[in-house]
A = this chain, B = another copy of it.
Amino acid sequence: MLPVADARARILAALVPTAAETVALPEAAGRVLARPVVARLTQPPSDVSAMDGYALRAADAVEGATLAVIGAAPAGRPFAGLVGPGQAVRIFTGGVIPQGADAVLIQEDATPGEGTVRVNEAAREGRHIRRRGLDFAEGETVLPAGRRLTPRDIGLAAASDNPWLAVHRRPRIGILATGDEIALPGDPIPAGGIVSSNAHALAAMIRGAGGDPVVLPIARDDARAIAEVAGTAHAFDLLVTTGGASVGEHDLVQKALGAEGFELGFWQIAMRPGKPLIWGRLGRTPVLGLPGNPVSALVCGVLFLLPAIARMGGLPGDAPPTRRVRLAVPLAANDKRADHLRASLSTDAEGRLVATPAPVQDSSMIATLARADALILRAPHAPALEAGAEAEAIVLADLGV
């Protein structure tokens, strides 16, 4: 059985980022830049006022002086003339500092008169002036390739005059659920059967992570049915299967895919839940075979599928981020398989995260998983821990899961 980190490294090594596409700025939030964003202008384009007030010569701005107001410079309407000695120009935030002026008297320190202004407090040279290029300069890379764009980045790309951005195409991921026992929600359920939950949960996870999920029709536990759907694998950047991955006689997925030219990379991971994971390739399309148990499928999704989507989407695809938590209860020593305990989180009086594992950790219990906030990580052979001890946990909300 392969350790979790080795399995993830082998998956990531087999994947490449999708090619670039051009999208309009408003569509680019959450996407990953395939090319850097370069400023097409200098911001601010001139020295501008940081406040509402009066542009003047610092030498004139002595307390008690009265200056002639010779014009106005609102943002976007520069004053064309020159500010001479004894003169001032009414200015507003973002207004261009007129020629001759070297200071801004803020309006809170001024008394306007009839065509004049009285200085109530001296203004210092350069004060309240934003220098040309304070924010960025033309030709400067304001956002590097490989960055996932935040709403703030969208603002920066806009401010630097970039209406189009080159981003990685969303990886398109086929999801194939298999099993005689599963039905779609609302459809008639076979005797002894259950409703399929993995495909749509995985689709939501994939969409949230920036992928483009395609839910395929459920394949019966029949090599021909599975092979038929697998024959469409070329349409995807990744094919994810769920179910049919464990050891029993009804584990048809490997066999069925074999007929379609499936090359097995590895299977079986030293982890719980989710030991029976398959990784391989069907023609040019990588295949990730997840277990059929809902909890196993989603935990394997967090550990392997999310990093895979990140890598295909142009990001590094690191291990999921963890946070340090305190244990509310003691934990027994772990066996040889890495464990991922579903836990709820609370905050103690010192503001630290406290994790309470669910009392039953059965891998079929999706209600327990839905109520969980975190997965407490237990390394293989980790020693027993007392209540109050620290552990690392994946906080599911951090991943949008």
Q: Which of A3-11, A135-143, A264-272, A311-319 lies on the face that meets chain B?
A: A135-143
Could you say which residues of chain B place their CB within 8 Å of the CB of A155? Answer: 197-198, 200-201, 294, 298, 366, 369-370
Among B96, B156, B247, B370, point to the contact of A150 (Cβ < 8 A).
B370
Tell me if A59 is interfacial: C-beta within 8 Å of chain B.
no
Tell me if A248 is interfacial: C-beta within 8 Å of chain B.
yes
Contact-residue size bin, chain A (C-beta under 8 Å from the other chain): 35 or more
Closest to A248 in B: B52
**CB within 8 Å of B: which A1-29 residues:** 25-26, 29
Identify the 7 closest CB pairs spanning chains A and B, nearest first.
Answer: A76-B181, A155-B201, A29-B204, A151-B204, A163-B186, A159-B197, A52-B248
Is the beta-carbon distance between B193 and A76 smaller than 8 angstroms? yes
**Given the known A-B contacts A25-B185, A95-B192, A180-B74, are A248 and B362 also in contact in the complex, defined by CB atoms under 8 Å?**
no
Could you say which residues of chain B place their CB within 8 Å of the CB of A332? Answer: none
Could you say which residues of chain B place their CB within 8 Å of the CB of A372? Answer: 152
A192 to B228, CA, bound (A): 63
A154 to B26, CA, bound (A): 28
Among B93, B248, B400, point to the contact of A293 (Cβ < 8 A).
B93
A48 to B401, CA, bound (A): 28
Tell me if A116 is interfacial: C-beta within 8 Å of chain B.
no
Is the beta-carbon distance between A180 and B351 smaller than 8 angstroms? no
Could you give, for residues 182-206 of chain A, a 1 whenever the CB lies within 8 Å of some chain B CB and a 0 otherwise? Answer: 1011100111111111101111110
Could you say which residues of chain B place their CB within 8 Å of the CB of A397? Answer: 150
A153 to B362, CA, bound (A): 17
Is the beta-carbon distance between A194 and B44 smaller than 8 angstroms? yes
**Given the known A-B contacts A194-B44, A293-B93, are A367 and B250 also in contact in the complex, defined by CB atoms under 8 Å?**
no
Most buried by B among A92, A196, A200, A294: A200
A142 to B370, CA, bound (A): 9
Could you say which residues of chain B place their CB within 8 Å of the CB of A203? Answer: 26, 154
**Given the known A-B contacts A135-B366, A298-B151, are A159 and B195 also in contact in the complex, defined by CB atoms under 8 Å?**
yes
Tell me if A355 is interfacial: C-beta within 8 Å of chain B.
no
A92 to B294, CA, bound (A): 16
Closest to A181 in B: B76
Is the beta-carbon distance between B29 and A94 smaller than 8 angstroms? no
Tell me if A307 is interfacial: C-beta within 8 Å of chain B.
no
Among B150, B162, B179, point to the contact of A185 (Cβ < 8 A).
B162
Tell me if A41 is interfacial: C-beta within 8 Å of chain B.
yes
**Given the known A-B contacts A135-B367, A197-B156, are A186 and B161 also in contact in the complex, defined by CB atoms under 8 Å?**
yes
Tell me if A365 is interfacial: C-beta within 8 Å of chain B.
yes
Least distance between A306 CB and chain B CB atoms (Å): 10
A392 to B190, CA, bound (A): 54
Could you say which residues of chain B place their CB within 8 Å of the CB of A249? Answer: 74, 90, 92
